[in-house]
Structure 1
Amino acid sequence: MTLGAESLEYSPHTSAPPGETLKETLEALGITQVDLARRTGFSTKHVNQIIQGSAVLTPETAEVLERVTGVPAALWNTLEAAWRTQAVREEENKKLRIHLDWLDKFPLAELVTRKILPDRSKSVENLRLLLNFFGVANPEVAEELWAGYRIAFRRSGNIEPNDYSVSVWLRQSVRAARKIECQPYRRHELIRLLPELRALCRRNPETWLTELPLLCARAGVAVVFLPALKGTHISGATRWLTTEKVLVALTDRHKKDDRFWFSFFHEIAHVLLHGKRLTFLDDDPMKYDEDPAEDEANRFAAEMLIPSKYSYDYERLRIRPKPFVKIEEFAAMVGISPGVVVGRLQHDGALPWSEGNGLKQGFKLTLDELR
């Protein structure tokens, strides 16, 4: 069978119908179709249909052909399966072709950078790869699935995100989290680890990115660090993968340690305090949010970083935060990084957003952090 250019584009490994091989085999053996019909007990019409590819070459037929031609039945079965698979693929390509505009909704350049797609072409093969990435049959199914998921999404922040970019980021985070080996989720173990997790904020970012996932995995929390796609406006997310494993995904949206640690403990609050059926997508957790769950997560993060037992000392610092050595001394006393204290003072209006940033630790995630 001769395939056209379109078929070759979407099926680089093309297959011929097994009937062509059967025809060549008969010619080599000097057996006519009529003679084959006599030897096999098939009708001449059925033999011709097999050769033309209009009749299925069944496993039973393959066994008979092995006895008559000497060609193993396994080879006939393989040829038939490859041919039928290709035929189904070509029919599926025709159906997918009408959905090519769906690709326009995604940031194709970023999908190439993340190795989700090989190039930016608006092709059936790329559409197929994107559907494979999301684990859905077609774009219509994907849209219906996401519409159902949104009922279980809790989104903080007032910026309208690009939902398609968000879907890519969340899916990539979920796929990465599934590869992380974790102990079954144990709430008491996560609570026990909180002081150790908090102490890491005094260390450098390279230590966080290594130690946080290892520690959290002991309690059933798969921590993923993944840069957000443009237009997502995401700082972090929490999603239960199973009843015994939860994803906490973090981005480098603000690229400073104060936002990172607040976001981290904000997501941990969702794990400890809120339902397993919800997915939380958080824009800027330090902003006020009317959602009770988001407000509760904010209060948890604030208490984790600067516990209320230090309220008196913090109030004194808030009234007079300069010189900055006072911030460093308070941070050492409390056991957190100076950058986190600066972020809190800025949030509370004690410092302008332009002051004290030299005490913050900057960091930037790359796709190399994706595990």
Structure 2
Amino acid sequence: MTSPANSYSYHPETPPRPGEILKEELDAQQVSQADLARRTGLSTKHINQMIQGVAALTPDTAVLLERATGVAAETWNQLEAAWQTHQSALEDQRKLADKVGWISKFPLPFLKRVNVIEDTEPTLENLKKILAFFGVATPDVAEQAWREYRAAFRRSALVEGDGYSIATWLRLCEIRARGIKCAPYQRERLVAALPELRSLTLRTPDAWQEQLPSRCAELGIALVFIPSLKNTHLSGVTRWLAPDKVMIGLSDRFKTDDTFWFSFFHELGHVLLHGKRLTFLDHRDGSDPADEDSDDESPMLLHGDSKVPGASTQAENEADRFAQTTLIPEVKLQNFLDSFSTPTEQQIVTFARDVGVAPSIVLGRLQHEKRVPWSFGRRLKTSIRFEDVKQLP
């Protein structure tokens, strides 16, 4: 007799049909199907249907087979489960094969660059990898989830951008952020740290790109820098991952330090001023359009999350105002503007030193308010390019 211990507890790529194993076991024990029927109390027809794969091998039948053959019921159950899982996977593959064209909607070169897929071909394997990246079962499930997700934003937010590229960028932000260990968020600690965070504007990009995420993690903020993705039109995103952990994702869309810092403090405004259930996608429209990628021309309105008409616009205005006043105190700015109707570069540098921020931030504010042209003072700004995201965490 074959040992009942785990005789068939292996897991080949294509698992055997339980009926095949049952026939092998009967042959090895020199037991006929009719004899097995008598031993188990099952009909000969039912035994034959199991062997042919017409009838499933149920848990109750597995118990009977254990007594009649000596092979553990657990083994029969595992064989049946493996076979049924394999059959379900084959059926799933057949269904997915009809959906392969769906992946052409995504920024495939970007997904290849971050090692989600190995090439940009419309293959079943790539479809599976993209579904795994987003953590969804099927394209239909993904579309439904995104329809519900997009309902959280003003429709103009995604009409002006490519929804699939936006979903890709946001997902990468989320994956990165969830991998960051953060201290529990406490509002009071963040408020107290604002002057320190503001002082980092004086550091070089190499310095603050290392120091800022670490300091934010100590404050309960998972800060991630993700390169701008074509057709997303996004500068940043704020999303609460847990009651005591918030994600801020920032892109290098406009490629200058002044717009980066404004976006960062804008997102902090959302964190401090608005509810934890809200998600905000932000587009900065106050920078020189010439600084932006030439293929990123479609405007996108400021937008946030709310079911109350006009509330999202109010939230964005509040976050803008928070960033403006935190970076440059209004009274000092007004005194400066009253003194110099058209300030020189040196006067901007001196004023920035007095208030303790990078000159580019002062220049960007003046440009936004049309006190100086966009072409003025370019040397005061520092170029920002985030490192390419070469692999997922």
Shorter chain as normaliser: what TM range?
Answer: 0.7 to 0.9
Residue type at the aligned position of 2:384: F
Q: What is the root-mean-square deviation in Å for CA atoms of aligned residues? A: 2.8
1:167 counterpart residue number:
167
1:108 matched to 2:76? The reply is no
2:286 counterpart residue number:
286
1:304 to 326, 331, 336: 326
- Looking at structure 1, the residues matched to 97 and 247 of structure 2 have their Cα atoms a distance apart, in angstroms, of 35
Deviations 1:137-195 (A, max 9, x none): 33333223222222322588798100111011112212222222223332222111111
**How do 1:209-220 residues align onto structure 2 when only pairs under 5 Å count?**
209-220=209-220
1:363 counterpart residue number:
384
Question: Cα offset for 1:263?
Answer: 0.5
Question: Cα offset for 1:250?
Answer: 0.3
2:367 to 321, 324, 346: 346
- Looking at structure 1, the residues matched to 69 and 169 of structure 2 have their Cα atoms a distance apart, in angstroms, of 55
Residue type at the aligned position of 1:357: R
1:248 matched to 2:248? The reply is yes
Question: Cα offset for 1:13?
Answer: 2.9
Question: Cα offset for 1:313?
Answer: 5.1
Aligned CA distance change for structure 1 residues 159 and 29 (closer, same or farther; 3 Å)? closer
**How do 1:106-185 residues align onto structure 2 when only pairs under 5 Å count?**
106-154=106-154, 160-185=160-185
- Looking at structure 2, the residues matched to 144 and 359 of structure 1 have their Cα atoms a distance apart, in angstroms, of 46
Percent identity among equivalent residues? 50
- Looking at structure 2, the residues matched to 156 and 350 of structure 1 have their Cα atoms a distance apart, in angstroms, of 30
2:237 counterpart residue number:
237
Q: Which is further off, 328-337 or 347-356?
A: 347-356
Paired residues of 1:154 and 1:280 also in contact (CA < 8 A): no
Residue type at the aligned position of 1:306: I
Paired residues of 1:238 and 1:279 also in contact (CA < 8 A): yes
SS across alignment from 1:213: helix
SS across alignment from 1:184: coil
Question: Cα offset for 1:260?
Answer: 0.4
1:295 to 317, 322, 335: 317
Paired residues of 2:15 and 2:83 also in contact (CA < 8 A): yes
Residue type at the aligned position of 1:141: V
Q: Which is further off, 274-283 or 342-351?
A: 342-351
1:7 counterpart residue number:
none
Paired residues of 1:285 and 1:298 also in contact (CA < 8 A): no
With normalisation by structure 2, the TM-score equals 0.81
Question: Cα offset for 1:317?
Answer: 7.2
1:222 counterpart residue number:
222
- Looking at structure 2, the residues matched to 285 and 195 of structure 1 have their Cα atoms a distance apart, in angstroms, of 25
Paired residues of 1:156 and 1:282 also in contact (CA < 8 A): no
Instruction: Flag structure 2 segments of 5+ consecutive residues without an equivalent.
Output: 1-11, 288-300, 303-309
With normalisation by structure 1, the TM-score equals 0.86
Paired residues of 1:225 and 1:370 also in contact (CA < 8 A): no
Question: Cα offset for 1:316?
Answer: 5.8
- Looking at structure 2, the residues matched to 55 and 40 of structure 1 have their Cα atoms a distance apart, in angstroms, of 16
Paired residues of 2:114 and 2:390 also in contact (CA < 8 A): no
Aligned length: 359
- Looking at structure 2, the residues matched to 176 and 349 of structure 1 have their Cα atoms a distance apart, in angstroms, of 37
Paired residues of 2:185 and 2:245 also in contact (CA < 8 A): yes
SS across alignment from 1:152: coil
1:319 matched to 2:331? The reply is no
**How do 1:30-45 residues align onto structure 2 when only pairs under 5 Å count?**
30-45=30-45
Aligned CA distance change for structure 1 residues 64 and 118 (closer, same or farther; 3 Å)? farther
- Looking at structure 2, the residues matched to 97 and 61 of structure 1 have their Cα atoms a distance apart, in angstroms, of 35
1:194 counterpart residue number:
194
Paired residues of 1:238 and 1:246 also in contact (CA < 8 A): yes
